[in-house]
Amino acid sequence: QVQLVESGGGLVQAGGSLRLSCAASGNIFSINSMCWYRQAPGKRRELVAILTSGASTYYADSVKGRFTISRDNAKNAVYLQMNSLKPEDTAVYYCNAVKDVSVYWGQGTQVTVSS
């Protein structure tokens, strides 16, 4: 089992920045990838960014150049640095871990961007 806890969400004005954190605990050995997803009201959950165990990254087109996913192995944490935020970035952001054939989710953290 892997437990994930997100933090760092909040209310920010358009153009501002936030850094989301995801603390992982439990059986975190050999996690294949860590991801950030988001879900806006009335919309499907969408993939935002991926960080693989080999340190490869992927970003959705909508956040490319503005968001950065990174990790701190010593702290068992993954981060999402979000810059130049837009109102359309408003959503609940979820941390996700893939380990073998299992997928784990955090509880989510709300990000609200005001215009």
31-58 per-position pLDDT tens digit:
889 999 999 999 999 999 999 989 999 9
Contact 7, 108 (CB under 8 A): no
Low-confidence stretches of the chain (pLDDT < 50) are none
Report the sign of the C-alpha dihedral through residues 56, 62, 81, 6, in that order. negative
Residue 108: predicted pLDDT: 97
Query: Tokens at residue 8, please?
Result: 């760092």
Q: Left (φ > 0), alpha (ψ -120 to 50) or beta: where does 73 sit? A: alpha
Residue 63: predicted pLDDT: 98
Name 69's bridge partners: 80
